Chains A and B, each alone.
Chain A
Amino acid sequence: MAKYIALRLGQSIFVLFGLSLLIFFIARVVPGDPARVALGNLATEEQVQKLRAEMHLDRPFAVQYYYWLKSMLRGDLGKSLYTQRPVTTDLRQYIPATLELILFATLISLVFGQVTGVLAGYFRNSWFDNLSRLASYLGVATPSFVVAILLLFIFSQLLKLAPSVGRLPLMVKAPPTVTGFMIIDSLLAGRPDLTLLALKHLVLPAFSLAVIHIAQEGRITRSSLIENVQKDYIIAHEVHGIRPTKLVFKYLLKPSIIPTVTVMGLDFAFLMSNAFLVELVFFWPGFARYAVNAMLSKDLNAIVAVVLVIGVTFALVNLVVDTIITFLDPAIRIQRRGG
């Protein structure tokens, strides 16, 4: 197993190297002078040229990449032209907010998706199955930002049940940052009132992100469950009079969620890209918002860092998913051992 993980990690490093080279090149060939954008409108030509030299923008592409790679290997991703501080500081600031949102969305999609899928599969062709099918079609067809705007309008504007924007009310002082996760930090600060507030602020954006995945994962679990229900060992259990709930939770669920877990890995990275628009709608101070601003202001270092973070996340999540599947499915485990 360790050998397999090491091999996958090695492959990921090559992929990330290629990705960095690609995005480094693309970011630089897009028209526009980042030095001019960074210095603001009133900078003189002399000041612009000085900054261009400092950023090595007056040097050939290969030299620029060499300087960037050298700094990156020291853990320095350069300075953001947008925020005027190290990109690593920005990432530390913004990533936890997005991760908190994505993890919560994953949790919602996992719970709702599995429950819907299992019920729809077990009571197939019932009214519940038909209703969940209709809801799934709607969920998959509606973009996250449309769901976000609808939820905001209904629950925040009309019913006034949920807060509209941010991680906490704007006037409330945030707890000291320890992990960057508002829920954990507020608990660490001994402020359960803030935890409740943070959860309230999390519900709408997380649900907006999760809807599409609830629909997708629900359908996959349903299909997988129906397929497994027809297998001999399940029929044998049924014949032996095992209670339906035990049958589902003990014997059916585990093999049925393997395809869903695989999809969830891809979904995690997908959630990150979907968060771009949801974070904008909910004024969520996360990584995706930062990425959008970096791109709009042609912040070269930030753009490369953003793409790399997404790449690393994708690689790591896929590795984790593969490992989980290996544990869930004995057949794969044996195959990887060379059996």
Chain B
Amino acid sequence: MRIWRLLGVVAVLFAIGACCWVGAQGPAQNVAVINGYPVIWTDPAVASDWYDTEVMYNLYSPLVYPTPEGSVRPHLATSWAPVGGDLTHWRFELRQGVKFHSGNEMTAEDVAWSMTRFITMGRGNSGPLGKVTATVVDKDTVDFVLDKPSAIFPETLALFFPVEKELVLANIKKPGSYGELGDYGEEWLGTHDAGTGPYMMVSHIPGQSLEAVRFPDYFEGWTNDGWGPDEVPIERLIFIMETDYTTLMTLLKSGDLDLEINGGWTLPQLQQIKADPKLRLEYVWAQNVTVWMNTKRPPTDDEHFRKAVLYAYDYEAVVGPWAEFGNGETGIILPTMAGYVRIEPQPRQQDLAKARAELALSKYATGPVPPVVFHYCAGLSFEEEIGLQLQADLAKLGLTVEVAGPPWPQYSAECSSPETTPNMTIFLFAPQVAPPHDYYTFNMYHPNGLGWIFEAHWFFEDPEIIRLLELTRATVDFSERLQIYQQLQPMIAAHALAFYPYQKPTPFATQCYISGPKEKTNMVGPSENMHNWRINLAKKAGGC
């Protein structure tokens, strides 16, 4: 029996140790635990989704920086101008004295090499750039030659993050897909960084966590201007990657999570957060809930039928309880963006008389009407809710709506052609492509736009819209371009290619001792740059 006694003593000692540990509280640490979402790709040439961009803005710096009104301002580049008049050749002057995390100074060679790498790899956010040839003019000047003219080229570089050439070259893996350049450093950049951003990567376990510490030599500095006396820069960031919002709620309530930046909360969860004095909600950028109507498939192939849908939909019924969290009116672009124009239907409420009138004008006024197939992404209950609301609304017109939610791979694959796209598909479009005005217009309504889920209406028959969209990409002056966007919005809306149930602000849920963002931008990334946030350690220690 001696063994049992020994085991008993060990068990008691462990129990005492465990009890002592419970209740022991450590000092307030200068750390922020942030939820980064399912997986983050940290190679700037591979990163593409908004979760990646949020981290990119912390580890790297873009060449130009998005402004709240939708344009860009100097950042790694201090100025830029087209060379010649055809907008295919751009010259960028670079900021001097910018340091990489290694301590080495950034040069034009790094920027040009990074652009060549970005375009050659052809991944991530490089698609909208087309073919770009980069050449070094001198140590602080770089030229970019494009395959097609673009007035918005400088603005697209808000998603171009230069890397340190020599460091990446020293870590390429051979053999790889790029001949002498092996894998172009892709594998190494998945778990290391070679950037100039405000934070330096310490470790990264893809799909699990990413840790970064403050870069003291960040070129924008770390002054406390505009911040409170106890608000200091955050020293350490830990990005976790959790998609289950019940778990995230547990973490937030227990104080294990400091900031959640993807906003997938349910309504009851948002209400709980709002009611908790130790937590707060911060709204920065919104997402546009868009229901595309496939113009190539009956019965949504008829413009009057589509307009009938616009008027039959009960906007207020779905927004209702969400209104206190900012959900509301939206249109072709987000209402928070400069140059927003209200579009039909106005006022945004159900008008069955108008709906019936439009239906009577359609080719489906008499005879059997095929059912409207509405697909949403499996697991997104708010999308399903919109489908079911539409089903109830169109039933009042005697129309049938079939609502189904296939999983994302299948759902997204359906949108690869007009023939396979259901009558209606719903998407949540976050301003994740630079520049955002171009993303919500050219990329969604021009035949050379992003296609696929971004253009699942499949309508490109209005030459005037196409001409104006092309004009936006040929207009360098931002305010002039805004005027064209204003002209375009009602023109696009007149074809009823989609209906927009509401804009969905992304609520950043944070602990009360976290402050920020200092500057709010209508684009994913800049607002999640933690240089733009502070922590109040006194409040943290005192529980606010």
Contact = CB atoms under 8 A, between A and B. Distances in A.
Interface of A: 30-34, 36-37, 39-47, 50, 54, 82-85, 90, 93, 152, 156-157, 160-161, 164-165, 169-171, 196-197, 199-200, 280-283, 285, 289-290, 293, 296-298
A41 B242 CA distance: 20
A36 B125 contact: no
B33 A171 contact: yes
B247 A280 contact: yes
A83 B206 contact: yes
A283 B247 contact: yes
A164 B450 CA distance: 42
A283 B122 CA distance: 34
B206 A164 contact: no
Given A32-B412, A82-B207, 4 more contacts: A32-B413, A50-B122, A83-B190, A199-B18
A40 B247 contact: no
B407 A196 contact: no
A39 B48 contact: yes
A40 B38 contact: no
B407 A285 contact: no
A156 B254 contact: yes
A40 B49 contact: yes
Interface in B80-123: 122-123
Interface in B32-66: 33, 38-39, 41, 43, 46, 48-49, 52
B124 A196 contact: no
B238 interface: yes
Interface of B: 14, 17-18, 21-22, 29, 31, 33, 38-39, 41, 43, 46, 48-49, 52, 122-125, 127-128, 177, 186-187, 190-191, 205-209, 238, 240, 242, 244, 246-247, 250-251, 253-254, 256-257, 406-410, 412-413, 416, 432-433, 450-454
Given A83-B39, A85-B190, A171-B29, A161 B22 contact: yes
Contacts of A46: 122
Contact of B409 (A33, A39, A164, A199): A33
A32 B206 contact: no
Contacts of A171: 29, 31, 33, 238, 256
Given A41-B48, A45-B451, A165-B247, A84 B190 contact: yes
B340 to A, nearest CB: 23
A41 B453 contact: yes
A84 B206 contact: yes
A164 B254 CA distance: 8
A147 to B, nearest CB: 15
Contacts of A290: 207
A27 B128 CA distance: 31
A83 B207 contact: yes
24 contacts: A31-B406, A31-B410, A43-B123, A43-B127, A45-B452, A46-B122, A47-B123, A83-B39, A84-B39, A84-B41, A84-B206, A85-B187, A93-B205, A152-B250, A156-B254, A161-B22, A171-B29, A171-B33, A199-B18, A283-B240, A283-B244, A283-B247, A289-B207, A290-B207
A164 B205 contact: no
Q: Which 10 A-B pairs have the closest CB atoms?
A: A32-B409, A40-B48, A83-B206, A31-B410, A44-B127, A298-B409, A285-B208, A32-B413, A170-B33, A32-B410
B450 A36 contact: no
Contacts of B453: 41
Contact of B413 (A36, A41, A84, A285): A36
A82 B37 CA distance: 12
A196 B21 contact: yes
A95 B450 CA distance: 39
Contact of A30 (B41, B207, B409): B409
Contacts of A283: 240, 242, 244, 247, 251
A34 B407 CA distance: 13
B122 A42 contact: no
A296 B244 CA distance: 13
A290 B241 CA distance: 11
Contact of A85 (B17, B49, B125, B206): B206
B146 to A, nearest CB: 15
A196 B14 contact: yes
A42 B432 CA distance: 10
B409 A37 contact: yes
A31 B409 contact: yes
A156 B256 CA distance: 12
Contact of B38 (A34, A197, A293): A293
A282 B242 CA distance: 11
Contacts of B246: 281
B409 A297 contact: yes
Nearest to A173: B211
A42 B124 contact: yes
Contacts of A33: 409, 412-413, 416
B21 A197 contact: yes
Nearest to A290: B207
A293 B207 contact: yes
B473 to A, nearest CB: 16
B24 to A, nearest CB: 10
Contacts of B38: 82, 293, 297
B69 to A, nearest CB: 23
A152 B242 CA distance: 17
Contacts of B412: 32-33, 36-37
B247 A281 contact: yes
A191 to B, nearest CB: 14
Nearest to B430: A41
A58 to B, nearest CB: 15
Contact of B407 (A45, A82, A200, A296): A296
Contacts of B39: 82-84, 293
B150 to A, nearest CB: 15
A46 B121 CA distance: 12
Contacts of B244: 280-281, 283
Contacts of B454: 41
Given A37-B408, A47-B127, A199-B14, A164 B250 contact: yes
Contacts of A47: 122-123, 127
Which of A32, A39, A200 counts the most chain B CB atoms within 10 A?
A: A32
Contacts of A285: 205, 208-209
